[in-house]
Amino acid sequence: MEKYVKKILASRVYDVADETPLQAARLLSRRLNNEVRLKREDLQPVFSFKIRGAYNKIAQLSEEERGRGVIAASAGNHAQGVALAARELGTRATIVMGRNTPTIKVNAVRDLGARVVLHGDNYDDASAHAQTLVEKAGYVYVHPFDDPDVIAGQGTVGMEIMNQHPGPPDVIFVPVGGGGLIGGIGAYVKYLAPDTQIIGVEAEGSACMTAALEAGRRVRLPFESLDLFADGTSVAQAGKETFRLAKRCVDATVTVNTDEICAAIKDLFDDTRSIAEPSGALAVAGMKKYCALKALTGARLVAVVSGANVNFDRLRHISERAEVGEQREVVLGVTIPEKKGSFRRFCRALGRHPVSEFNYRYASDREAHVYVGLQVTDPADRPALIASLDQAGYPVSDMTDNEAAKLHVRHMVGGRAFGGKREILYRFEFPERPGALMRFLSVLGTGWNITMFHYRNHGAAWGRVFAGFEVPEGSMAQERARLTDYLQRIGYRYWEETDNPAYELFLR
């Protein structure tokens, strides 16, 4: 711990990084009944804390090492940090990025003077290729998190928090990917103020540090289960050094889902009028969840807003999910009678709840289905609302937590049913890049008749598809086994959705 404190104090980050403000969050403080401050790392020159660790690492290199050039594998913030640091320190930088990296990020790295090599479709592919180039060309590898100099550079965030906060904070919430930021902050803060709690926050689908701390050893998460929304922290395995530090410095971890992250992005916008990237809002999402779980009030809290490198196209998806994440929107599938006046009677049954979305689907001469989004002022209103509709005689399916319904079905209501034939439904995610949709269809082959297809581009590195496949009468089990075997071989992430109630109500 003392060694890291000395390294942090001696870090050379301020040649290029800014000392960012620790900003009071008036609205969050009032809502959570705690004193909340935000560490605004989204205001760095590359809109992320990553410049700190990258610069400190490259600044510690010898002249001979800098002469060989540096290399990194990253699809985002670390790439920009390394590129800027290399430019400022007069060395060449090569950045290996997945082919599905959004163009805006590729161009940002090139604009900073780095050479970009596109390889593979994920961080593991890019990292492996970067190591190959290290062996071939002799570059110096700049790890995104598992390096003492990188960790020390990130640890200057913790040093600033302790200098800026009026007395030690009670709790500091830190986003976690591979663990470099929380390792650096934790080492410094725990040395000075052992009673200050350090809480790591991870996305549910990439909680590698949580898994490691629970198991007592580093755990590698399967790629097919990794969260792809908070891409800046989507890491399969915590680093060796960062895990060693986390065991000593991290008091607890919290995991949050996509909707909770989107709600936190909105909260940050309301308080600061700035837009954080999903990983940048993780700490706020975790802080809100932790306060609710622990009934925490009257405490001095700090949340690290770690970055703001978000594609503009993603904002549409984020805004759709924010209200659900804040539990201010309830999404329901409701069956109503198919007869005159039923629409009006149903709307009257909704009471004074504002309607955010309303989709109608004729089902038969006797009934119809409505996909409806309703605004509520308090999460506790949700079961009461559903109970009131049920008492009024309307069968209700709660789809507030139904991923397929929110991603796809809400945009497909009213599509023609598949003529009474049988079909299997799947939801897919595949690497997004120009021509990716056509490649996806080509890889899927012509072995199945596609009965339904919905694709949305969310401005992210991954495309999402909802598709149906015809199944001959009497062969559901065989076709499911054949299709599943094929999907496992082509390697795309997929989830079967055949029994999803949203499909039953609105698409069958």
Q: pLDDT tens digit string along 12-54?
A: 999 999 999 999 999 999 999 999 999 999 999 999 999 999 9
Looking at the domain that runs over 2-47+148-322, which CATH code has it been given? 3.40.50.1100
Dump pLDDT digits (tens) for 168-195.
999 999 999 999 999 999 999 999 999 9
Dump pLDDT digits (tens) for 363-421.
777 888 888 888 777 777 888 888 889 888 899 999 888 888 877 887 777 655 555 56
Over 80: is that where the pLDDT of 324 sits?
no
pLDDT for the residue 460: 61
CB atoms < 10 A from the CB of 381, how many? Answer: 17
Over 90: is that where the pLDDT of 488 sits?
no
Strand 140-141 relative to strand 70-73: parallel, antiparallel, unpaired?
Answer: parallel
Task: Please give the Cα distance from 507 to 497 (Å, whole number).
Answer: 12
Please classify residue 264 by burial: count the beta carbons closer than 10 Å to its beta carbon, then call 0-12 exposed, 13-18 middle and 19+ buried: buried
State the chain's mean pLDDT as an integer: 87
Sequence-distant (6+) residues with CB within 8 A of 169 are 37, 161, 193, 196, 300, 301, 302
Mean pLDDT (whole number) for 464-481: 78
- Could you tell me how many helices (H) and strands (E) the chain has, helices first? 20, 18
Q: Which token pair is 2?
A: 């003392």
Catalytic residues: 50, 306
> Which segments of the chain belong to CATH 3.40.1020.10?
415-506
> Which segments of the chain belong to CATH 3.40.50.1100?
2-47+148-322, 50-141
Give the N- to C-terminal CA distance of the chain in Å, as an integer.
60
Looking at the domain that runs over 50-141, which CATH code has it been given? 3.40.50.1100
The CATH fold assigned to 327-401 is: Alpha-Beta Plaits (3.30.70)
CB atoms < 10 A from the CB of 54, how many? Answer: 36
Does this model's pTM top 0.85? My answer is: no
pLDDT for the residue 144: 94
The CATH fold assigned to 415-506 is: Biosynthetic Threonine Deaminase; domain 3 (3.40.1020)
pLDDT band at 461 (very low <50, low <70, confident <90, very high): low
Of the two residues 349 and 147, the one the predictor is more confident about is 147
Task: Please give the Cα distance from 50 to 43 (Å, whole number).
Answer: 12
> Which segments of the chain belong to CATH 3.30.70.260?
327-401
pLDDT band at 456 (very low <50, low <70, confident <90, very high): low
